[in-house]
Amino acid sequence: MRAAAQPHRFVGINQAGQVALLQTQGNPDGHVILRGGKAPNYSPADVAQCEKEMEQAGLRPSLMVDCSHGNSNKDYRRQPAVAESVVAQIKDGNRSIIGLMIESNIHEGNQSSEQPRSEMKYGVSVTDACISWEMTDALLREIHQDLNGLLTARVA
């Protein structure tokens, strides 16, 4: 995060699609993404531990929680429960959680990209399994209702 916050150069692709040496002024708004691993890491204790480690490293705690991957035990249907836990932490006063990530697509689940295209279902992920658009809509509306006014008060 320290390196990303500072001006630096890196090899990348320019607007003409060519490999080039690019320059950035840096981004001071970096954050850690808690995505789970061998076990979920979105609990209040896990979040507090990450905050402590960031503070000890001289960094401002800024965390995003991935509701999928290891935090859902790789079960896309658990994403709403993870999101509800994160929202509860924000409602309980956590100020370092700046967002959450949800794996979402038009239809739930996933499918192999190796099958014939004619057998593939439109709107179903070919990578990680996702919650459906209907579930996403309901979840986002619930989060909005739960956090209505809280987030704007945090930045005031």
- Nearest of 57, 63, 55 to residue 29 by alpha carbon: 63
The pLDDT value given to residue 156: 58
CB atoms within 10 A of CB 1: 16
Pull the structure tokens for residue 134: 């209907």
**What pTM value is reported for the model?**
0.88
The pLDDT value given to residue 150: 83
Helix (H, G, I), strand (E, B) or coil at 55: helix
Pull the structure tokens for residue 29: 């708004």
Pull the structure tokens for residue 28: 């001071």
The pLDDT value given to residue 134: 98
Stretches where the chain sits below pLDDT 50 are none
C-alpha span between 116 and 142 (Å, rounded): 38
Count, in order, helices (H) and strands (E) of the chain: 5, 5
The pLDDT value given to residue 153: 76
The pLDDT value given to residue 154: 75
Burial class (CB in 10 A: 0-12, 13-18, 19+), 59: middle
Q: Are 105 and 125 in contact (CB under 8 A)?
A: yes
- Nearest of 82, 89, 84 to residue 142 by alpha carbon: 84
